[in-house]
Amino acid sequence: MTVPTLRRWFVVHKWTSLACTLFLLIVCATGLPMLFSEQIWDTFVGDDDPPYEVLPPGTPNASLDVMVEKARALYPGQIVTSVSPDDDEPAVLVSMAPSWQALKEDENYPDRHSGHWIKFDARTAKVLKQSRPPDAPKEPRTWTALIMGTCTRLHMNLFAGLSGALFMGAMGAVFVASLVSGTVLYGRFMKRVPFGAVRRDRASRLAWLDLHNLLGAVTLVWAMVVGFTGMVNELQTPLFGLWRVTDVRQILRPYASLPVVPQDHLSSVQAAFETAAKAAPGNEVTGLSFPGASFGSPVHYVLWTRGNTPLRARLFTLVLVDARTGELTGAYPMPWYLRFLEISRPLHFGDYGGMPLRILWALLDMVVIFVLVSGLVLWAGKRKIATDARLRALGYELDDTGGVPPWAEGAR
């Protein structure tokens, strides 16, 4: 590698690292509490749901139609918008709203929420809990909700919506570039010294520099995976939007001009779940949206199914069931780019290996925070030194002809 090439790699590493350091510190700091969000909520907020009835093992679930009718009886004149079985508990959430128009108007007013939900025991169809009515005075947010909400929005989009998400995705790409350039520089340095060498017998700055490089190399694979998957996750809104305006619009085009089916003329919700399960063998149904939803059809139940194994649990298939007749319209797997997006999520959040993996993710996160801070301190302390002097500090001896002498062993 010639000196000009080495200089270019060094400049790339320096400026890509500086460009993304502040934002990566925000991401790493906010990511720590997000890793343990479930435990934080359980510890500081708890669950005020009433206990479930003790029933014999194997007790079958009640019909979803019964729960839908009970919800309508509790709020006559309102519509049911969705039905969602709980992933971890024998419960079903039935969501309601005054009308579809009210939900559409909510999109223009972030602080207004017309919808509400009712939680049923899936086995007995008894009401367990309800959200606060839309017209009830808002309760003050708890400190836990405020802190976790702030961490989540900072981590995802810096409180800047889609533009913030795309910016953070760009920072993820810059971070990956800094890792690649840092690997090239460290690999060149490691040809002259044993891996993991920390020059403690020289200036303290060199020891910090070596430690910065060593920890960066140790966490390289993890940082590369998390950085790349984080960049992909930030693209979820435009990627889902692309799917909606291409494949989904094409599927629903024949029905777009039809009026929304009145809810007293709908076919069985329970039968729609069973039809969707048959249409996507090996999948479990995770939710159903009623005709009229913004992401759906005026005459169809829209059902989401996913794989029932850890590997396939992130792979969703859209199923349309005609809400007038109960007949299957079709099953539509997500395109490859959305499947790639969904598979990248557990790699980014470390939520596929239980608590041990979350703890490992947290430890690696803290190591990366140290690497970022140490890199910033090293740059601030030597920002006026020329590039060649910094390369010599890394262990290179540069000759006057623009090359690196093969006999140079560097400063040890």
Average pLDDT over residues 391-410: 48
Output the pLDDT for position 394. 54
93: which strand partners?
84, 119
- What kind of fold does domain 241-349 have according to CATH? Nuclear Transport Factor 2; Chain: A, (3.10.450)
Tens digits of per-residue pLDDT, 149-198? Answer: 999 999 999 999 899 999 999 999 999 999 999 888 877 766 766 766 67
The interaxial angle of helices 3-35 and 143-157, nearest 10 deg, is: 150
Alpha-helical segments (H) within 90-160: 100-106, 143-157
Average pLDDT over residues 31-49: 84
Tens digits of per-residue pLDDT, 276-318? Answer: 999 999 899 999 999 998 888 999 999 999 988 776 788 899 9
Confidence band for 211, pLDDT divided at 50, 70 and 90: confident
Report the DSSP pairing between strands 116-121 and 283-289: unpaired
Dihedral, 146, 147, 149, 154 alpha carbons, nearest 10: 130
Output the pLDDT for position 12. 92
Structure-model confidence comparison of residues 345 and 224, the more confident one: 224
Average pLDDT, the chain: 85
Instruction: Examine the pLDDT at 409 and tell me if it is beyond 70.
Output: no
Output the pLDDT for position 180. 92
Per-domain residue ranges for the chain? Answer: 3-37+156-234+354-393, 46-141, 241-349
Tokens (6 digits) for 46 = 């708890």
Whether 239 contacts 169, CB under 8 Å: no
Closest Cα partner for 35 from 171, 191, 180, 155? 155
DSSP code per residue over 365-406: HHHHHHHHHHHHHHHHHTTTS-HHHHHHHTT----TTSS--T
Tens digits of per-residue pLDDT, 215-236? Answer: 888 899 999 999 999 999 999 9
Average pLDDT over residues 101-112: 74
C-alpha 69/C-alpha 74 separation (Å) is 9
Structure-model confidence comparison of residues 210 and 30, the more confident one: 30
Output the pLDDT for position 67. 97
- Three-state secondary structure call for residue 336: helix
